[in-house]
Structure 1
Amino acid sequence: MSAKTPTRLEPDEPGIAEAARLLGEGGLVALPTETVYGLAADARNDRAVARIYEAKGRPSFNPLIVHLPDLAAVEEIAELPGAARDLAAAFWPGPMTLVLPLREGAGLSPLVTAGLPTVALRLPAHPAMRAVLEAFGGPVAAPSANPSGRISATRAEHVIAGLGHRVDAVLDAGPCAVGVESTILAPGETGLRLLREGGLTRENVEAVAGPVTEDVTPGKVEAPGQLSSHYAPGVPVRLGGNAEAEEVGIGFGPGTADLNLSETGDLVEAAARLFDILHEADALAAARGAGAIRVADVPDEGLGRAINDRLRRAAAPRD
């Protein structure tokens, strides 16, 4: 692929058809979801999936989420026990990923599952993404469209700045509404495990499925987004308190800060703006020569848990 800016596609019929065509030819297309932009490829094509890892600089042991249009497509790839069916009925399409037993002969590239006997599946709600899935007619692997470990992309501009010519095209449907990745759940014989906090709150999950067991950073990576250091800007992130003179400050709620997740203290607004604000803070830190980014405390409830999960990983020591 030549070193040029990726083609920018409109979320209309021609743009969706072109995105589907590129996927069918083994291309990489950044697609919008309600959570973040995904770096999409044909999940059955070994070479195309390998290009995802290459473009992101992603460790091969970190599995990918497969996006599908409907429950029938899910059942072709994975086993769907009763607890998973209840969750699917309640929250799909939407910002929920289920880790399910992989069916024999599912036809996915083994690179998608990173050698695990399970597969992470999601039915996205974004109309443009759903239209591409219908037009393409196959499973699409789509991790977040950013360099591995760095800030996720919630706008087409973030994709282009982070991945540039490594992507063939970007379907630009504007900013993502949810702004943090999907919640990842693993139904099993011992109950429901929460593998990643995300755009579906724990309270909503427990209202349908009962108590969940938190297992967000197990010894072995089972699902995307479980690496301890992830979502990181170019300078260290420090959590809590007020920004020092050499730091870029990100606030939450009323108060003075360089940038603010939500001046009214709205967790939904803060989640939607989180990665956009981190991108802005990263650029501001570079422009100022600032040594760090300081983020104010965010309540650890509802969507605040997903926000704090991302912030803790952004602040974790780098490998």
Structure 2
Amino acid sequence: MLFCPTCANILIVEERPERGLRYACNTCPYVYDIKKKVSYRTFPKLKELDYIMGGAAAWENVDSTDAVCPKCGHGRACFMVRHKTASAKMKIDKMAEVIKCSEEKAYSKAAQFLEDGQVIAVPTDTIYGLACSANCPQAIKKLYAIKGRDSAKPVAICVTYVEDLRKWGKSEHLSDDLLHTLLPGPVTVVLEKTRHLNNPFLNPKTSKIGIRIPQYLFINKVTKIFDKPIALTSANFSNEPSTLSVKEFEHLYGHLGAVFDGGVLSEGLEQNRTGSTVVDLSNVGSYTIIRKGISYDKIVTILEDHGLHSIG
């Protein structure tokens, strides 16, 4: 018995006249021609999810399987993007231009794409992200479609200053000293939304919003020029591993306005694919770690040094 490396369902054998046998999945588009005797099995490596606020996967993707396409080497996105997903149904006009972050006026070009309602790929402190204007309904819908993501799963926003964080997230109970010690950096702070964040398509199933202030120079300058909140989620198909270089999400180029190349991020280390540490600070005097990411130990130390205690 063989199992689909994409969705873990049992594979069936199909016989095609003059073309031989192939394995096929009844649930997803996975197929594989049988060219020789198969003497091995592929099982998905499922990862345990917690269920705080819908689980860590709700705030940024986790990979549900490490298996890859036997033909091209891509992961689950290879089949899902090319066949049945929402992003496959979207019209592809042309492949996105790849722009070096070091290029003159790259910051202003990125801001203009955002102003035009486009979704772009950008480097951050941790991994590559997909970004769009947070208060633009059409841009948010396009962002979800590109990722093949359930609209019930929240995305974070990216801003420039602590004052911006206070505008978009309710943070009266948090001191400036705490926030300036945490930020900027590889941490996503989850707070209750304020009335200013009024896009009905942005995290419609929760009253909370994750907010980041990146330390990475490029995205930090883009947020300053754009001067509005930027929705930010990992640059990969939903449930695929996060990406450390632009080559790793080439299958999404046809749906993006532009790709801004900042080279290999996080020193190319596999353990850094976890992305930012996500912490819920919406309750007075306490914190809840939603996802352990980069700098987890340092972030917990900062929180506890400021008198917050862990719950959940």
TM-score normalised to the size of structure 1?
0.62
Q: Partner amino acid for 2:182? A: F
Shift of 1:180: 2.9
- Structure 1 pair 179/84, CA: closer, same or farther in 2 (3 Å)? farther
Q: Distance in 1 between matches of 2:194 and 2:138?
A: 22
Kindly tell me the number of residue pairs found equivalent between the two proteins. Answer: 212
Residue 141 of structure 1 pairs with residue 231 of structure 2 = yes
- Structure 1 pair 40/150, CA: closer, same or farther in 2 (3 Å)? same
> Match for 2:295 among 200, 209, 212?
200
Q: Partner amino acid for 2:286? A: G
> Match for 1:10 among 93, 100, 103?
100
* Structure 1, unaligned runs of 5 or more: 216-319
Shift of 1:199: 1.1
Cα deviation 1:110-151 (Å, max 9, x = unaligned) = 322233111110101110111111121111001001100111
Shift of 1:153: 1.4
Shift of 1:154: 1.2
* 1:226 equivalent in structure 2: none
Q: Distance in 2 between matches of 1:160 and 1:3?
A: 15
* 2:256 equivalent in structure 1: 167
Contact conserved, 2:241 with 2:273, CA < 8 A, in 1?
Answer: no
Shift of 1:190: 6.1
Q: Partner amino acid for 1:185? A: V
Q: Distance in 1 between matches of 2:202 and 2:175?
A: 21
TM-score normalised to the size of structure 2?
0.64
Q: Partner amino acid for 1:22? A: F
Q: Partner amino acid for 1:127? A: L
> Match for 2:206 among 113, 116, 129?
116
* Structure 2, unaligned runs of 5 or more: 1-90, 267-271
Contact conserved, 1:84 with 1:98, CA < 8 A, in 2?
Answer: no
Bigger helix share: 1
Q: Secondary structure at the match of 1:125?
A: coil
* 1:262 equivalent in structure 2: none
* 1:209 equivalent in structure 2: 303
- Structure 1 pair 65/52, CA: closer, same or farther in 2 (3 Å)? same
Q: Distance in 1 between matches of 2:238 and 2:263?
A: 22
* Consecutive aligned runs of 4 or more in structure 1 exceeding 3 Å deviation: 81-87, 211-215
Contact conserved, 1:195 with 1:214, CA < 8 A, in 2?
Answer: no
> Match for 1:90 among 181, 187, 190?
181
- Structure 1 pair 51/89, CA: closer, same or farther in 2 (3 Å)? same
- Structure 1 pair 190/80, CA: closer, same or farther in 2 (3 Å)? closer
1:144-155 equivalences under 5 Å are 144-155=234-245
Q: Partner amino acid for 2:274? A: V
* 2:123 equivalent in structure 1: 32
Residue 185 of structure 1 pairs with residue 185 of structure 2 = no
RMSD of the TM alignment (CA)?
1.9
Q: Name which one, 1 or 2, has greater alpha-carbon Rg.
A: 2
Q: Distance in 2 between matches of 1:16 and 1:118?
A: 29
* 1:228 equivalent in structure 2: none
Q: Partner amino acid for 1:109? A: N
Contact conserved, 2:124 with 2:219, CA < 8 A, in 1?
Answer: yes
